Amino acid sequence: MKAGIAVLEFLKNVGIDRIFGIPAGSVNVLFDGMNDYADIRPIITKHEGAAGYMAAGFAKYTGGPAVAIGSSGPGAMNLITPAANAMREQLPVLFLTGAVPSSTVGMNSSQELDAAPVFAPLTKYSKLVERGEDLVSEVAKALEIAVSGVPGPVHIAMPLDVQMAAIDPATIPDGIRTVRVKADYAAAGQAAREIKSRNSGLIFCGQGVRGMVPEVMRLSERLGWPVVSTPVAKGLFKDTHPNFAGVYGFAGHESTGKLVQEGDSDTLLILGSSLGETATSNYNAGLAQGRFVIQLDRDETVFARKYPVDLPVLGDLADTLPAILTELNVLGTSEQSVKVPYNPERLEPGKEFTTKNVVLKLQQLLPEQTRYAVDITETEAYVIHDLNVLSPDAFDINVHFGAMGSGLSVGIAAKMADPERPTVIITGDGCFHMHGMEILTAKEYGVPVLFIVMNNSRLGLVYHGHSLQFKRVHETFSTQPMDFAKMAEGLGIPAARVESMEDLNAESIGKLMSADGPALLEIVLTDDTPPPMGDRVKFLAGFAE
């Protein structure tokens, strides 16, 4: 058996049912082999970058590893940004790249690149495999590393002659072993005792609480401590819960900011947040100042990175959070009520044709169970600040790494992973120019996802950022006006164009949402009102003075 085919056999053994990527000569062994593997479907994207983002989104919403593949040279380089994105989001993605035959290395071969050291600082493991008999074992090793400990991306470079080498099929592993981070139960017990002894506190939650929201709210109800969400955790907590105090950080709520920075809580309990810039309102000192800080995370490198931590608790939240709840029960705590200065009432859209009113109106018209994949666009600030969480895991907003166009691909992958859930992509014209042709990928694979393109013919976040920070904007930040609806129709994709609030109605939205493939809604709107970005502009301005 060819070593490259052995890789497919191994991937089938561990449950991989699709591979995102673009075929090319240096990976043709695997792509040809998929003709004989009906259980593994190649998802051919329009750009390797999109393939990497889709793999990351698929890993996030299936809970398992995913695979992206690209050619040697340019294909590998196009996967670099998605690898960095997956590393930031702690997602187990296996990046496979081709490489030129070993005998031609250093001879200026077509698409030659030593990709392993390029991927190394952006992944948990990156390796060039030099012998055919080592290929499948290295792929297995990489995948085990990806899913173990703190999950993250890995990379294997495969020279063409290595893929072609004959190997013994008996060496193909049947599966992989996942090693969890060893939980510090002693620290968890100490945390419970510290919590019991404190007068008041805040529960500060990042995206690491995904899957643990019921336990978080149980802890909040027991202690009477309000729960605050970071922007990337928007969508995990329903606004209607009386203990939820809103979003803090980029585009967060003013009342939440006052609660965090000026409140009298003597304890800060941090759950699953690395406390980055967007999560902490630009590293605001008021977050931890004068408070006893307890931080729970599976990644020990986040402890005391920016803020002092009095009690770090290492371990997966699935282990440490139940341990704390159990210890609190032993200590005899009883449920307490909480009052938080946050109004969860659902906002009503006004009549003026503004970005805020449009997103509010859209949420009214779309199904309650809709999942929103939100791209890096000025609209994301309105989504974070103004939209309500009506169903679990409602929003995917990656302001961590902030790769323009990534939301487009994540939305497609989210729908593939959870096909019964209505899924909408909110993007801008700038992001669509980067990765918008993935709408064809959605069409070719019959993925019924609605693309909402906010078209203002400019780079919106850049425009508003420069306008607020420098009081001027370069003319090149505006782009040539484009009719995205006509473009979609030219591709055989249902589309509609909105140029007023009256154009937004249930009939037109219903038709687009009922399509058996992708559809596009273009909203032509230039809104000069600065988005609710919080202190982001003040932070940048501090470096310009």
Q: What is the 3-state secondary structure (H, E, C) of 249-267?
A: CCCCCHHHHHHHHHCCCCE
**Type of residue numbered 337:** S
Would you say 34 and 42 are in contact if contact means Cβ atoms under 8 Å apart? yes
Say which amino acid occupies 333.
T
The Cα–Cα gap between 134 and 130 comes to 8
> Which pLDDT does position 535 carry in this prediction?
62
**Tell me, what amino acid is at 308?**
P
d(CA 503, CA 97): 46
Check residue 529 and give its pLDDT: 79
Contacts of 97 (CB under 8 A, 6+ apart): 26, 27, 69, 70, 71, 72, 75, 76, 79, 115, 119, 155, 156, 157, 158
The pLDDT, as a whole number, for residue 477 is 67
Q: What is the structure's pLDDT at 544?
A: 45
Q: Say which DSSP state 378 is in.
A: T
Mention every residue, 6+ apart, whose C-beta is less than 8 A from residue 277: 250, 283, 539
What does residue 205 show for φ and ψ, rounded to 5 degrees? -115, 130
Crossing angle (nearest 10°) for helices 355-365 and 379-386? 60
Sequence-separated (6 or more) residues with CB below 8 Å from residue 417 = 57, 58, 60, 61, 62
pLDDT at 497: 96
- Long-range CB contacts (within 8 A, 24+) of 273-276: 273/204, 273/205, 273/206, 273/207, 273/208, 273/230, 273/233, 273/297, 273/302, 274/206, 274/299, 274/302, 274/305, 275/206, 275/302, 275/305, 275/306, 275/307, 276/400
What is the pLDDT at residue 457? Answer: 60
Ranges of each domain in the chain: 3-171, 185-331, 355-539
- Residue 452: count of CB within 10 angstroms of its CB: 26
pLDDT of residue 532: 80
What is the helix (H) or strand (E) element at residue 483, kind and residue range?
none
SS (H, E, C) 126-168: EEECCCHHHHHHHHHHHHHHHHCCCCCCEEEEEEHHHHHCECC
pLDDT of res. 460: 55
Q: How far apart are the first and last CA of the chain?
A: 64
Q: What distance in Å separates the CA atoms of residue 335 and residue 338, rounded to the nearest whole number?
A: 10
Nearest C-alpha neighbor of 387 from the set 425, 354, 424, 358: 358
- The whole-number pLDDT of residue 237 equals 94
Nearest to 94, CA basis, from 51, 40, 44: 51
- For position 65, what pLDDT does the model report? 98
Homologous superfamily of 185-331: TPP-binding domain (3.40.50.1220)
Provide the pLDDT for residue 400: 77
Domains 185-331 and 355-539 share a fold: yes
Q: What is the 8-class DSSP label of residue 104?
A: G
Low-confidence ranges of the chain (pLDDT < 70): 340-345, 457-468, 473-474, 476-478, 534-545
Q: Where are the alpha helices (DSSP H) in 148-288?
A: 160-164, 185-197, 213-223, 254-262
Say which residue the tokens 């408070």 belong to: 291
| pLDDT score at 77 | 97
User: What pLDDT, on a 0 to 100 scale, did the predictor assign at position 342?
Assistant: 63
Which neighbouring-strand residues pair with 397? 374
Instruction: Give backbone dihedrals phi and psi of 384, rounded to 5 degrees, phi first.
Output: -65, -45
When the candidates are 3.40.50.10420, 3.40.50.11540, 3.40.50.970, 3.40.640.10, the CATH number that belongs to 3-171 is 3.40.50.970
Check if CATH label 3.40.50.970 holds for domain 355-539: yes
Residue 497 token pair: 């164009």
Cβ distance 538 to 257 under 8 Å?
A: no
Q: What is the signed CA dihedral for 267, 211, 147, 119, rounded to 10 degrees?
A: -70
Name the strands in the sheet holding 292-297, side by side, starting at the edge strand that comes first in the sequence: 244-247, 227-229, 201-205, 267-271, 292-297, 311-314
Dihedral of the alpha carbons of 245, 278, 401, 201, in degrees to the nearest 10: -50
Residue 466: helix, strand or coil by DSSP?
helix
Tokens 């297995």, residue? 140
